Amino acid sequence: MYLTKEQEKMLEGEYGEVVSKMMRLLVRLGEVYNAEKMIPVASVQVAGVSYKSIGDAGLEFLQDIAKEAKVKVLTFLNPAGMDLENWKEMGISEEFAKKQLAIIEAFKKMGIVISATCTPYLAGNLPRYKQHIAWSESSAVSFANSVIGARTNREGGPSALAAAITGYTPYYGLHLDEKRQPNYIINVNVDLKSSTDFAAMGYYIGKEIKNKIPYFVGIKDADVDDLKALGAAMAASGAVALYHIENITPEANEVSIDGLEKIEFGKEELKETYEKLNSGEEEDIIIFGCPHASLNEIIKIARLVEGKKARKPFWICTSRAVKEIAERMGLDEIIRKAGGKIIADTCMVVSPIENLFSTTAVNSAKAAHYLPGFCKQKVIFKRMEDLLR
């Protein structure tokens, strides 16, 4: 692989051992995937933030990096394992909080924005069409590639960090035009009525096509929340990093769909997926915001519960940035009176909720996928309106 003089200096240790180690990782990846060169990245999203996810091994790894290296480009951070300000209110232990704050401190020392969200594109890190970025967080990767048309591979937590510290990523995979061509046509024969329906479809398709690229036809309309849910689900049940939707996503008109194998998605498949994702009887709590809720989703929930008491306690997980505005709009108050809570910086999957609840209701297929294994939860998966009714 071709390296510039500066990249070679990085590799050879002129900028310190950490930069060299990060560059070695990128060069190895580049060689494996036949990258001809490195390219500069405009921004990075770093995943692997919750102490529950990365443990002591991850904490030590990050502290070692923070000792000598700083990031070179705009770098945002995935959710942590707790609300970084109101963690006591969440029932988080002192011990967990101490470790979590040490992880945050290491990231801060590196110069990373402590955004603590899986939806950076809703909180201040928005790439442009065809811009090269290096993002981890599977749902954000999918959104950036598909909805915005920016270009990133599915970076692992450490490879994204390496891109942040060096400013480069190897030029391969989804950075190239030819690797963004779809592999399957998905014929959608059912009217998708909510973002939860989109999520269910995503779950089904991700399982079917694994790490390939789908091209959806038959979707009449989809808002940003629908697309966020669809991409997150396909990246959880499979490894889908890019999807196209006819007349909706920006690259759909630039790719070829001639001769592709077709997969049907209709009423039966939708029903089957809802059944599959439901394993619980009665929930202890309802949790929204996987991926992190947009302001519009919080407004919708506030309208549904205004002046009423919800049938169960509920949480809405979102970024600190969105929560601040929700508070300013008085939505926080409406939600609190209805028995809910807006929680920032974290979510139901990366926080240790297994210590608090045993059955969780969600409207997210991604959450429904991770909660049984990682959080030992039984799951109820329904539309937002049905959960609050």
Residues that bind other proteins in the complex, under the rule CB under 8 A: 25, 28-29, 31-33, 47-48, 53-55, 57-58, 61, 78, 136-138, 141, 153-160, 173, 206, 210-211, 235-239, 279, 349, 369-370, 372-374
User: What are 387's two structure tokens?
Assistant: 């959960």
212 to 177, 181, 270, 365: CA distances (angstroms) = 15, 10, 21, 19
Q: How many CA atoms lie within 13 A of 153 on its CB side?
A: 21
Question: Closest separation between CB of residue 373 and other proteins, Å?
Answer: 5
Q: What angle do CA 328, 199, 339 make, to 5 degrees?
A: 40
- Ramachandran angles phi, psi of 76, nearest 5°: -105, 165
Question: Closest separation between CB of residue 35 and other proteins, Å?
Answer: 12
d(CA 110, CA 107) in angstroms, rounded, equals 5
Local structure of residue 148 (DSSP, 8 states)? I
Question: Closest separation between CB of residue 291 and other proteins, Å?
Answer: 12
Our CB check for other proteins shows the closer of 76 and 323 to be: 76
Distance of CA 184 to the CA centre of its chain: 23
Question: Closest separation between CB of residue 133 and other proteins, Å?
Answer: 13
| Helix (H) / strand (E) containing 22 | helix 17-32
Question: Closest separation between CB of residue 8 and other proteins, Å?
Answer: 19
Strands 38-40 and 168-170: antiparallel
Our CB check for other proteins shows the closer of 25 and 301 to be: 25
Our CB check for other proteins shows the closer of 149 and 158 to be: 158
Our CB check for other proteins shows the closer of 156 and 339 to be: 156
Our CB check for other proteins shows the closer of 194 and 279 to be: 279
Our CB check for other proteins shows the closer of 46 and 73 to be: 46
Question: Closest separation between CB of residue 374 and other proteins, Å?
Answer: 4
Counting Cβ atoms within 10 Å, is residue 265 exposed (0-12), middle (13-18) or buried (19+)? buried
